[in-house]
Structure 1
Amino acid sequence: MLLPIIVTFLLAFLMLLLKPQKILRLFKFVCVVPLLLFLYLITYLPAVYQGTKSILFKNEWIPSLGISLDFKIDGLSMLFGLMITGIGTLIYLYAAEYLKRDENIHRFYCYLTLFMGAMLGVVLSDNLITLFIFWELTSISSFFLIGYNTDQEASRKSALWALSLTGLGGFLMLAAFALIGIVAGTYSLNELLAYPDVLLNNEYYYIIIFLLFAGAFTKSAQFPFHFWLPGAMKAPTPVSAYLHSATMVKAGIYILARFSPILGGDTVWNDTLMIVGGITMVMGAVLSVFHKDMKGLLAYSTISALGIIVFLIGIGTETALYAACTFILVHALYKATLFLITGIVDHATHTRDLSVLRGLRKVMPVIAIAGFIAALSSAGIPFTFGFLSKELIYGVSTDGIWTQESIFVLTGIALLTNIFLTSSGFLAGIRPFFGKLPKEFEKIKKPNFYLWFPPVLLSALTLLFGIVPSIVDQSILKSATISVLGTSTQMYLSLWHGFNLVLLLSAITIVLGILLYFAIKPSSRNESRLKGLDDFSPQTILTSIALGIRWFAFRYTRFFHNGYLRVYIMFIVIFFTGIVGYKLFADVPLRVNTEDLSAFRIYEFTVFVITIIAIYFITSTTSRLTSIAALGVIGYSICLIFVFYGAPDLAMTQFAIDTLTVVLFVLVLFKLPPFLKFTNKKIQFRDGVISVCFGILISLITLQALVSPSEKDVSKFYADNAYVLAKGKNVVNVILVDFRGFDTMIETIVLSIAAVGVYSILKYKTQDGEKSE
């Protein structure tokens, strides 16, 4: 399994080498990549039939850290893997025609293939760290896909929102995975499934699940993180059809389903998912019918569908999890169909405005039939796959395990959501094709085979699975349910359950959904009604928080990084003095032995007095040259101190450096004003206090070092091995060149980079060709 994923990533980068101007037809055959992966996964379907067996591919990576490239195929990963590759094949075929005039189509296929490989890695990984790596790759590749139209500001902004939210969620999810590894002692999902009680009974359980929720909710657009998904509709239609129906938004769903047998069963887990999923499903469904843009409408109905799945996983019963697995496939089929049809309509008419689109069945009858079937499945009309899914959902809400109050609430939420989803499905799949055809659309050409075949095939599968559900029931859906449930199940899909409450609810949904469809007319007026809620929307709130952080960052940067070297040095000295001073006085028993200190000798006292006088001149003079000369005097005084205490090599180094510094300073400041106009007494007093405190701290550390026992193991090692190992008699040189060779090399690299930077500044030329001053 590792090899196919590696090959997928390699092919993604190889696509960048293709030149679309010369081999445009080749892109129509790129769909072979996901098709081969689809067929490869199909070969493992008998082995995971009914969840009786899972296949584990073990590949060591970093065993010392418990990180491996292990992959696992079971019912759940098979369901998602087949959707990713199967629908991906049709998207690849569709995009070849949809973007055939795009000069960057090779980049598009690179991003799309990277995303497909990353999604396969997410659903197949058995190791949590590996799963996280692929998870982040989906965020990065989707960023490029959503922001594919780089010349559009809205597209770039939407991509940034998607990356920011999913990236933040991914970071929190990484923290959850790290805690799981610490608590359970393993990152293997297979091992975690064998011992779920290790996490359920741990004190960090609630922290783990809330961190995990953050990652899943942001990726799957759950309230209040849902707003990035409608913004992502700025991406090309193939991206919307792939990412937002069957893949990216389902990644969070996959995480919740995968961890349900590991972390599920607790009241907090179930209630949180039910509340968040319930709010999301109702909100998304209601808001969807007020949009006149087809992609905007589909975006909000997608949010609602994702909420339904989270809601069902939160309920956690056998029927609910079976309904969730079924609806995952149902939604992927009809929603991908509607997205692709939207792209065809937009491609032909150059508009997605539902208030304008009418009668297109006359110019594209095949597409009209596909849209009609997808809309029926969305509404849950009998003999479509959506009907079976909707009956399961109502079966969950009316289950006898609930109290009457719970049945009333759950059924009410499900009924309200399905009514609005029925209406939105009709708006997207039926409304553009019925009515009188406007004159401007009469000369529209029929879509190319590569455009109409994918949605027609998906709609045909929707109809086929609705009439013959056994095709996917026992082989895929049941095994996926077993993977999520953790035990065997006897659930199955049936076309007829008799006249009961569930059938009545389905009928009510269809009737009220149709009435709502005729009652609500897509218009700018309806969309404007939603704008009144913008001030209270999560996006507005998060934007305000982001602006607040930006303001704080600006003030922080302006205060700490204002461009003045003296301010940087001041903060460094204050921080060092505070931290070291605190540790010195809090943890170290101060002992100052003045009896062993030698008395001042006359020449030492003379140097001391000279240093004090030089310091006075530096702090009081208004002449730059005088202060530089006084600074040089201090440097030479330090040289004498080194000589007094037997360090002539350091004295020579200090002498050379001070001489060079004084000369350079004089040259640099030669053309500056000769006098300093600095009379702020408060700043002088502040700097004086900081300097005195720093000096006292260094003095105390020095005095403490004189009475503290010294560890000479390191010094002894260097002294003993300098000549033996490095063949050098000068220990200092050996340390710098051999023992700390990498450090010296890096310092050399830094100096080289600085030299290149200085050289580039000196050689910089303005646009008019003159050298910059």
Structure 2
Amino acid sequence: MLLTVLLGLILSIFLVPFGKFVKSKWSVLLTLVPGLIFVYYLFHISSVSEGSVFFQHTDWIPSLGINFDFKLDGLSLLFVLLISGVGTAIFFYALSYLKGHPFIDRFFGYLCLFMAAMMGVVLSDNILLLFVFWELTSISSFFLIGFNNDNQDSRKSALTALSITGIGGFFLLAGLILIGNVAGTFSFTELIDKRDVLINHNLYPAILGFVFLGAFTKSAQFPFHFWLPGAMKAPTPVSAYLHSATMVKAGIYLLARFFPILGGTDLWMYTLVGVGGFTMLYASIHSLFRVDLKGILAYSTISALGILTFLIGMGTKESIIAASVFVLVHALYKATLFLVTGIIDHETGTRDITVLSGLRKVLPPVFLASGLAALSSAGLPLTFGFIGKDLIYEATLHFEENWALILTILAVVTNTGLVVAGFLAGLKPFTGKLPQSFEKVHLPYKSMWIPPLILAVLGLVFGVLPGVTGNLLNHQAANAILGQETSMHLAIWHGSVNTVLILSLATLACGIFIYLSFKPSYSKLQFIEKFENLSPKHIFKGYAVDIFRFSTWYTNKLHNGYLRSYHLKIILFAEILLGYKLWISGPVSIDFSNLSTLSIYEVGVVLVLIGALFIVVTTPSRLTSVVSMSVIGYCICLIYVFYSAPDLAMTQFSIDTLSTVLFVLVLYKLPGFINFTGKAVLYRDGIVALGFGAILSLIALKVNNEPVVKEITEFYGENSYLLAKGKNVVNVILVDFRGIDTMFETVVLSIAAIGVYSLLRLRLKPTEKE
């Protein structure tokens, strides 16, 4: 499992130096990656359908409880097959859709990275490992959504998606850390046994809130939904992959995976049913007013995600079965419709449904794929969508008696809107009279229309043979979500005309009536846009403007580019913090008996130091200032010698000597002194400096009166040679015990040296200087 997860990451890395390969005729080999992954997991269907669960453990950071722990059960198998199976179709499709694009290699690099991240999310058995891949999906999707980076709208959409999902990721991390601390483990498998501990803990509401925020932002639940329609600025293969089977389903997967751990409570149910129910109805209605094919599909996707959240929130056996099936139903027909939309846009140059019609005459195979997907979306009998809608009504009708009627009405209205949206996106562009401007439209490459046709046909096959997919995939997926046996049995016909069947047929009839009578137009779209000021997007945008204004003010005040200003603020903050600590810790008492008497040498060195310091702050000469600073450093060296610290003295001597030489060498490159505000600034800085020195002196005196604790000293003294084979304790601490810290300090110094060298070597042209 680890190899299948890392395979996409490895490929994305190799596409950097070997990007030209993607632009050659051998680029079709790229499709082998998701294809082989799909085949590999396909061989696990038989075992997993019988209840087997596969684990893989690889140490990573065991001290923090973070390891490469992977788990393949019914739920993860369903998602991993969707990721790799739909991914294979997308890879084939994108090769032709982006043929000739100068950055097609970069696109596939991002796509492979995203696929690897999604595989990691659904296979992780460690919640912190899941979070690592979770954030990687946000980062890689940012590059995919903003792939057309020369377009301002694409850049803005990518930033919006990253901001919303990034905020959700921050809260999710907080929730996962709380879960680990309360339960004492980060393993999903072990957390199931800690369910009672988590649910009965006083932090349970906070944990649930944080996890929900992570899931809601990723799966575009109201009020965080607006990033998804904006993400339609991405190339169509991205929209088809991210918004049908992968990224937006990550939040749904998170809720499903945490259901046996955190679910089943009133807080879980009311929150998810409320948010999911409102989202699915709100987005379903909005989809009817869109005139852009991608806009229709975006809002219908949001509605479908709301349905899944709604079903998982209900938490009954019927609703979990419905959710496990609808995940697959939606992925098949929505990926098809997105890919068909890409073909229409690619061949006609427009996605406007007010001008598209009659394309069945010039794109017959595409029409077949689109029609099958639209019918599955509508829930026509003998399609997989029919099974999905039946199960949704089965879940609402069997819910609590007081809520069954309300939830069923809500589901019927939502599904009616989705029927209309599916027909608008899947049938409207192909029916009616073919405009003269589209008569020259022709079929694209086979690699573009065969993948959506395969996905659409699968929707029909699974609808005719629902028991096959139910037994092989959905059964164990539902069991994994519910945490117990669901006894799923999918069938086209259960032998009687019942309420569920009547509701399904009524939904289809109402949807067809609205589709025939309600025609989307720009006037209706403008009517909806009148309420834009009340939308979450507008409200969030207002907050973003306020944050930008505050950031501008804060930057101008605190980050004005002057080093002396930064030093002043840092020292003032340290004075306030240390002064407050001294204040609350009580008065400082000085035991003069513990202080050694001053020698004539010490007094002399201090007088020289004070004299050099006076010269530093008063001289107008930079050279004199540098020399005086070196005198101060050498005086400190002598003080170290007086107090028997020759190693520190030599270190200080080396640093001061090197610094002085370097300063003198570059003096001729530096500008002259700048007099900012005269003596007022000098007095202010003097007061701040004296205050800082006084506080440090008080701290030193206070520490001198504290009892000496030698446990750490004794540990390093006893173990430096035994563990690190070094007799110099200070060196061993720097190199071994805190070696990572020292390594990064070295890296920082190296980067700074490279930067300084680059500036010294910089030669600008006269035009560049201007």
The normalised TM-score by structure 1 is 0.88
The corresponding residue for 1:205 is 204
Please list the CA deviations of residues 394-430 of structure 1 after superposition, one character each: whole Å capped at 9, or x if unmatched: 2222226322xx2332122112111111111110011
| Counterparts in 2 of 1:610 and 1:271: CA distance versus 1, 3 Å | same
Amino acid at match of 2:294: K
Amino acid at match of 2:2: L
The corresponding residue for 2:373 is 374
CA contact (8 A) 1:618 1:627 kept: no
The corresponding residue for 1:3 is 3
The corresponding residue for 2:492 is 495
| Counterparts in 2 of 1:755 and 1:290: CA distance versus 1, 3 Å | same
The corresponding residue for 1:40 is 40
Q: Distance in 2 between matches of 1:410 and 1:49?
A: 32
The corresponding residue for 2:96 is 97
The corresponding residue for 2:256 is 257
CA contact (8 A) 2:164 2:217 kept: yes
The corresponding residue for 2:13 is 13
CA contact (8 A) 1:196 1:262 kept: yes
Alignment equivalent of 1:697, drawn from 690, 695, 698: 695
In the TM superposition, residue 769 of structure 1 has moved relative to its aligned partner by 7.9
Q: Distance in 2 between matches of 1:662 and 1:201?
A: 64
In the TM superposition, residue 749 of structure 1 has moved relative to its aligned partner by 6.4
Q: Distance in 2 between matches of 1:305 and 1:732?
A: 62
SS in 2 for 1:58: strand
In the TM superposition, residue 658 of structure 1 has moved relative to its aligned partner by 13
The corresponding residue for 2:313 is 314
Q: Which deviates more from structure 2 when the two are superposed, residues 219-228 or residues 451-460?
A: 451-460
CA contact (8 A) 1:21 1:103 kept: no
Gaps of 5+ in 1: none
Amino acid at match of 1:436: K
In the TM superposition, residue 305 of structure 1 has moved relative to its aligned partner by 0.4
In the TM superposition, residue 610 of structure 1 has moved relative to its aligned partner by 8.8
Matches within 5 A, 1:142-181: 142-181=141-180
In the TM superposition, residue 707 of structure 1 has moved relative to its aligned partner by 4.7
Amino acid at match of 1:365: P
The normalised TM-score by structure 2 is 0.88
Q: Distance in 2 between matches of 1:562 and 1:570?
A: 12
Alignment equivalent of 2:535, drawn from 534, 537, 540: 537
Q: Distance in 1 between matches of 2:123 and 2:351?
A: 37
| Counterparts in 2 of 1:641 and 1:149: CA distance versus 1, 3 Å | closer
In the TM superposition, residue 279 of structure 1 has moved relative to its aligned partner by 1.1
Q: Distance in 2 between matches of 1:533 and 1:428?
A: 24
Q: Which deviates more from structure 2 when the two are superposed, residues 149-158 or residues 750-759?
A: 750-759
In the TM superposition, residue 10 of structure 1 has moved relative to its aligned partner by 2.5
Q: Distance in 1 between matches of 2:558 and 2:408?
A: 58
Q: Distance in 1 between matches of 2:734 and 2:499?
A: 84
The corresponding residue for 1:423 is 420
Matches within 5 A, 1:222-233: 222-233=221-232
| Counterparts in 2 of 1:91 and 1:582: CA distance versus 1, 3 Å | same
Q: Distance in 1 between matches of 2:704 and 2:576?
A: 22
1:401 corresponds to 2:369: no
Amino acid at match of 2:131: F
CA contact (8 A) 1:67 1:129 kept: yes
The corresponding residue for 2:556 is 558
Q: Which deviates more from structure 2 when the two are superposed, residues 728-737 or residues 266-275?
A: 728-737
1:458 corresponds to 2:455: yes
Please list the CA deviations of residues 608-634 of structure 1 after superposition, one character each: whole Å capped at 9, or x if unmatched: 889889888988x7x735996799499
Amino acid at match of 1:453: I
In the TM superposition, residue 270 of structure 1 has moved relative to its aligned partner by 0.8
| Counterparts in 2 of 1:668 and 1:305: CA distance versus 1, 3 Å | same
Q: Distance in 2 between matches of 1:491 and 1:226?
A: 32
In the TM superposition, residue 572 of structure 1 has moved relative to its aligned partner by 2.8
CA contact (8 A) 1:24 1:100 kept: no
Q: Distance in 2 between matches of 1:181 and 1:710?
A: 36
Q: Distance in 1 between matches of 2:755 and 2:37?
A: 49
In the TM superposition, residue 475 of structure 1 has moved relative to its aligned partner by 1.9
The corresponding residue for 2:24 is 24
SS in 2 for 1:102: coil
In the TM superposition, residue 551 of structure 1 has moved relative to its aligned partner by 2.7
Please list the CA deviations of residues 570-610 of structure 1 after superposition, one character each: whole Å capped at 9, or x if unmatched: 22332232222333343365222357778999998899889
Q: Distance in 1 between matches of 2:699 and 2:575?
A: 11
In the TM superposition, residue 187 of structure 1 has moved relative to its aligned partner by 1.9
SS in 2 for 1:433: coil
Q: Which deviates more from structure 2 when the two are superposed, residues 658-667 or residues 163-172?
A: 658-667
The corresponding residue for 2:467 is 470
Count of residues in Structure 1 that have an aligned counterpart in Structure 2: 765
Q: Distance in 2 between matches of 1:457 and 1:670?
A: 69
Amino acid at match of 1:61: W
SS in 2 for 1:591: coil
In the TM superposition, residue 234 of structure 1 has moved relative to its aligned partner by 1.3
SS in 2 for 1:61: strand
RMSD: 4.0
| Counterparts in 2 of 1:67 and 1:679: CA distance versus 1, 3 Å | closer
| Counterparts in 2 of 1:389 and 1:636: CA distance versus 1, 3 Å | closer
The corresponding residue for 1:214 is 213
Alignment equivalent of 2:570, drawn from 569, 572, 577: 572
In the TM superposition, residue 130 of structure 1 has moved relative to its aligned partner by 2.1
Q: Distance in 1 between matches of 2:493 and 2:556?
A: 70
| Counterparts in 2 of 1:26 and 1:320: CA distance versus 1, 3 Å | same
In the TM superposition, residue 264 of structure 1 has moved relative to its aligned partner by 0.8
Q: Distance in 1 between matches of 2:749 and 2:245?
A: 52
Q: Which deviates more from structure 2 when the two are superposed, residues 693-702 or residues 383-392?
A: 693-702
In the TM superposition, residue 446 of structure 1 has moved relative to its aligned partner by 2.1
1:624 corresponds to 2:620: yes
The corresponding residue for 2:433 is 436
In the TM superposition, residue 45 of structure 1 has moved relative to its aligned partner by 1.4
In the TM superposition, residue 348 of structure 1 has moved relative to its aligned partner by 0.9
CA contact (8 A) 1:607 1:637 kept: no
In the TM superposition, residue 747 of structure 1 has moved relative to its aligned partner by 6.6
SS in 2 for 1:397: helix
| Identical amino acids, percent of aligned pairs | 48
The corresponding residue for 1:122 is 121
Q: Distance in 2 between matches of 1:163 and 1:231?
A: 12
